[in-house]
Amino acid sequence: MGEQAADGSAVVVVGHSNTLLWGCVQAFADDGADVLAVVPDGGGLPAEAGAAREVVRADVADEAQLRAAAARLPAGWPPVRALVNCHSDVDTARIESASSAAWVRVLTGNLVGPLVSTLAFLPLLKQAGSAAVVHIGSIDGQLGNAAVPSYSVSKGGLIPLTHMMADEFAPYGIRVNCVARAALAGVPASLEAQLAAATPLRRVAEPAEVAAAVRFLASAEASYITGTVLPVDGGRTAITPGTRLPTGNAGSQRPSGP
């Protein structure tokens, strides 16, 4: 695909093929980085895939396949200075009705996937001398979402994983952070309206807005930030759910808490 980056850095983006993954690819490519995208087999690639220097197909939760993808980086590539884990597998079954197989699939895709992806590319990140890992989490992992229990649990597990990786990898000069995103543009219109009404900024996010936060955490500007979870949610987690006052009635109701 593209020529070698002028800034001498490479970025690996691993995960399920969706608008956020390709938004991250585009954001880093726009900064001049060589981007390797690792996505599952099956289905065509969007036009945004052209921003990647190379696209590799693999099971994004299989360590052996991801190590093989890492080995495909040729000697001519610059150092890998950032890894973005953009895994997203969703099941909408409630806890009582869900199958254990569905839970295993979602937990494997969203929690084990980022773990084995990081392990697969860790040797390359170490070689860079200064590098960053950014996991894509969700505010559902912070608060829980009754509509997607297994997804909420799997994304919630990224929080301590981020903390532990940040501590363990700090001696290698590797920072590890997590972006907890909210809903993105492209959800059904009825759901988007509902989510926008519950969001202080009154809209859902564009993929590029979340990708910008990912790019920041992976950059030298965030050189003293590690082990943190950054919500990119339009203010959704800044207020207690269910306590928003009707427009024009500010101060007319007592707060729900002490």
Asked if 65 and 83 count as a contact pair (C-beta separation under 8 A), the reply is no
Options 22, 121, 151, 169, the catalytic residue: 151
Nearest-5° Cα angle at 16, 10 to 22: 50
Asked if 204 and 192 count as a contact pair (C-beta separation under 8 A), the reply is yes
For the question of residue 172 being annotated catalytic, the response is no
Q: What is the maximal distance between C-alpha atoms in the chain?
A: 66
Q: Give the sheet arrangement for strand 131-138, strand by strand.
A: 54-57, 34-39, 10-15, 80-86, 131-138, 174-181, 229-232
Nearest-5° Cα angle at 115, 48 to 109: 60
Whole-angstrom distance, CA of residue 212 vs CA of residue 28: 9
Angle between helices 149-156 and 100-107 (to 10 degrees): 40
Among all residues, which ones are annotated catalytic? 151
